[in-house]
Amino acid sequence: MTVTAGREVRSTPLAFHLSPALKTAITLTALTLLGLLVGLLGEYVLRHDVIGTLGFALAYLTGGIPAGREALHSLSEERKLDVDLLMVLAALGALSIGQAADGAVLLFLFSLSNTLQDWAMGRTKSAIQALMNLNPEGATVRRGDVEKWCELSDVRVGDLLIVKPGERIAADARVTNGRTSVDESPITGESRPVDKEVGSTLASGTVNLGGSVEATVLRPAGQSTLARIVALMETAQSQKSRTETLSERLESPYATLVLLCVPLVFVLLRYGFGLSVDDSWYRAMTFMVVASPCAVVISTPAVMLSAMAAAARGGVLFKSSAALDALAGVQTVAFDKTGTLTNAKMTLTDFEADDGRVLFEVAASLEAHSEHPIAAAIVEAARARGVRPVAVSNARAVPGHGIEATLPSGALAWAGNERLATRQAAILALAQRRALSALEARGSSTVTVGIEDRVLGVLGVADTLRPDVARSLAALRESGVRHRVMLTGDKEVIAKSVAAEVGLGEYHAELLPEDKLRLIGELPAPVAMVGDGVNDAPALARADLGIAVASGTDVAIESADVVLMQSDLGKLAGAVKLAKDARRTVALNLTFAFGVILIVAPLAVTGHVPLPLGVVAHEGGTVFVVFMGLRLLRSRL
């Protein structure tokens, strides 16, 4: 908690707390256990019928009423039978044949199992739900000469945020004054603080660690980075994988089938095998317990929510568990180039000159008069080397060639392509010509710089690769993705150079958006498309799985099924491994859950499994599959 302008700004830490519903569930489970122990004490130790009856009555009320309420709700509101009804009927069935203790044991273990499920599922959901609590209640803003504290809903675009050390940033903003470091881990998963200076962007929900800064609000609270993430996660929780959907659809028909089988089992045992009414009914009730699909129903959501929470913590957001499941089966990953494999920013890559300082001084002096990205890259490279532009006069663009200007000495300086050098009757030295050829072969844009008829040197500018992109793509191959291909609208020579540098054996260049769509349909399926721009949106939507980098456009992010919040392709291989682990865990859980039913149910009918043991097998299996899913929370991308 921090204090800003006399007001407390509360932010919830990323920790799991007991919800009121979970506290109630724990209390009822404890009371059910108490009733069971009192009943057993009264009936079997004290031999006191009243104490035993009161204890079992407490167990039946506290353990049975919540399950009965859920069963009636499903029956009346959703018109379906579920496992809660099966458990309540089994407990009443045990009571009907004088086995009140067995029924109380059943209700206690069922209540304990549900409570453990709620706790475990709460652990998985908390990593996602915590995102919704990252925004402070408000912020200190300056409007004109007035500085005041505003509710979050009152913060407007253009307001000047005053962010002090330790405060959580209330809105997406751009730093206009000051320097600091920011903890972005709640949003991007980046573990190290990120330095911010004038011009840097701040994301809502992140924490200012260093000095005080002033920042101009870029988006209203409802459209901020944090709001967008929350919207994505709300969507993710509402959309389910095919296995999850199938399990939910089969729950009611399966429960109905079990209820229909119970009287058939009773009739078969009573009249087919000649067992007593009590024994036949007891076995039928045990069959109903062990045949209930609790573990089957919870197997998939427990795994998917845990995996999605672990991925979100690592900076990969899945919009649905269906997307997580789809990633596990992807055979081909197609990458856009600009902004995905590269930084989408022109940067000086190399130069050739006898005197580098003179080269950068003249080049920066000329390019400072241009707004072209290549010019900006050269000016930035000069600034990084401590070279400042000199004042020039009569700066003018030479269409199709470059730029010219007059130096303070009166000499004509120029910067542009090789045609401009020819126009100035300037001849490149052998080393300069070789450097020019090498740069062009790599797909770099080249700038030749000179004074009058003398060439000072050659500069190479290109859109540089993201850090460790080659290693990231190699890790993706090791994770089991067979085909990796680059799709780009850039020129063939540039595409070939980038593909070779990052280790991609297949690429397609000079593509229009419709070409990307066509190729997505021709690549070995299932296909995942990774992109960042508006022109990638159709391909992201067309692919079996769309993956967007967070530094991309809103359109691309909205079209995608998965978002890499750090724009780090290295996270993709980890996400693939996590998705495959989740799919294996679902398969294991379902196999185990059905295995328990197929093995224990016949034993219950033949009398080899008493009701308490059947309850332990059933509820133990349910807890087992939940905790198998919960272990995925430890996963790191």
- Which domains, ranges and CATH numbers included, belong to the chain? 2-11+134-224 (2.70.150.10), 20-128+237-307+580-634 (no CATH), 343-464 (3.40.1110.10)
CA 225 to chain centre: 14
- Residue 226: the pLDDT is 64
* Predicted confidence (pLDDT) at residue 228 exceeds the cutoff of 50: yes
Residue 178 has pLDDT above 50, yes or no: yes
Q: What pLDDT is stored for residue 481 in this prediction?
A: 93
pLDDT at position 13 over 80? no
CA distance 382 to 375: 11
Look at residue 560 and tell me whether its pLDDT is greater than 50: yes
Residue 238 has pLDDT above 70, yes or no: no
How far apart CA 327 and CA 561 sit, in angstroms, is: 10
130 pLDDT more than 80: no
Selected catalytic residue, list 336, 532, 544, 561: 336
Residue 239: its pLDDT value, please?
Answer: 52
User: Which range is least confidently modeled, 38-52, 237-251, 475-489?
Assistant: 237-251
- For the record, the structure tokens of 93 come out as 């069935």
Query: Which residue's entry shows tokens 């600091």?
Result: 180
- pLDDT-derived band at 5, boundaries 50, 70, 90: very low
Across residues 334-351, what is the average pLDDT?
A: 88
Q: Which SS3 state, helix, strand or coil, does residue 82 take?
A: coil
Where is average pLDDT lowest: 169-178, 322-331, 508-517?
A: 508-517
Helices (H), 97-141: 100-129
Average confidence (pLDDT) over 83-101: 81
Q: Mean pLDDT, the chain, as a whole number?
A: 83
Strand 402-406 versus strand 412-416 pairing type: antiparallel
The pLDDT assigned to 591 comes to: 92
pLDDT digits (tens, 9 = 90+) for 207-221: 888 778 899 998 876
pLDDT at 234: 54
pLDDT at 588: 94
- Rounded mean pLDDT of 245-257? 76
Of 135, 103, 148, the C-alpha closest to 288 is: 103
pLDDT of res. 430: 92
DSSP helix/strand/coil, 85: helix
Write the pLDDT tens digit of every residue in 277-316.
Answer: 889 988 998 898 888 887 787 788 888 888 988 888 888 8
444 or 11: which carries more pLDDT confidence? 444
Q: Which of 116, 107, 138, 134 is nearest to 34 (CA)?
A: 107
Instruction: Provide, for the chain, the percentages of residues in helix, strand and coil under a 3-state DSSP scheme, each rounded to the nearest 5.
Output: 55, 20, 25
pLDDT at 160 over 50: yes
User: How do residues 41-58 score in pLDDT, each as one tens digit?
Assistant: 998 888 888 998 999 999
Q: Is residue 2 predicted with pLDDT exceeding 50?
A: no
For residue range 53-76, what is the model confidence (pLDDT) as tens digits? 999 999 999 988 888 888 788 777
Q: Is residue 471 scored above 60 in pLDDT?
A: yes
Backbone angles phi, psi at 105, to 5 degrees: -60, -45
Rounded to 5 degrees, φ, ψ at 80 are -145, 155
Can 172 be counted among the known catalytic residues? no
Given this model, what pLDDT does residue 192 score?
Answer: 58
CB 287 within 8 A of CB 604: yes
Question: Residue 299: CB partners within 8 Å, gap ≥ 6?
Answer: 247, 586, 589, 590, 593, 625, 629
Residue 328 pLDDT greater than 90, yes or no: yes
**Starting from the edge strand earliest in sequence, which strands make up the sheet with 173-177, in order?**
146-151, 138-143, 160-163, 213-217, 173-177, 201-202
Report residue 167's pLDDT band, with 50, 70 and 90 as the boundaries: confident
Q: Which of 128-137, 332-341, 534-543 has the highest mean pLDDT?
A: 332-341
| Range 556-585 average pLDDT | 88
CA-nearest of 338, 203, 288, 254 to 82 is 254
Task: Say if residue 10's pLDDT is above 50.
Answer: no
> What local confidence, expressed as pLDDT, does residue 126 receive?
55
Q: Are 623 and 316 in contact (CB under 8 A)?
A: no
C-alpha 559, offset from chain centre: 15
Q: Is the peptide bond before 526 cis (omega within 30 degrees of 0)?
A: yes
Predicted local distance difference test score (pLDDT) of residue 146? 83
DSSP E strands in 244-360: the ranges are: 316-318, 332-336, 342-353
What percent of the chain is predicted at pLDDT more than 70? 87
454-465 sheet: strands from edge to edge: 342-353, 454-465, 445-451, 412-416, 402-406, 393-398
Q: Is 290 exposed, middle or buried (0-12, 13-18, 19+ CB in 10 A)?
A: buried
For the cut 80, the answer to whether the pLDDT of residue 123 exceeds it is: no
Higher local confidence (pLDDT), 96 or 603: 603
In the prediction, which pLDDT does 8 show?
A: 35
Mean pLDDT of 569-593: 93
Whether the per-residue pLDDT at 14 is higher than 70: the answer is: no
Assess contact for 390 and 365: CB atoms under 8 A: yes
Helix locations, 369-429, DSSP H:
373-384, 418-423
Q: Ramachandran region of residue 526, left (φ > 0), alpha (ψ -120 to 50) or beta?
A: beta
3-class DSSP assignment, residue 296: helix
Using the predicted structure, report yes or no on whether residue 457 has a pLDDT greater than 90. yes
18 vs 73, residue with greater confidence? 73
State residue 133's pLDDT score.
58
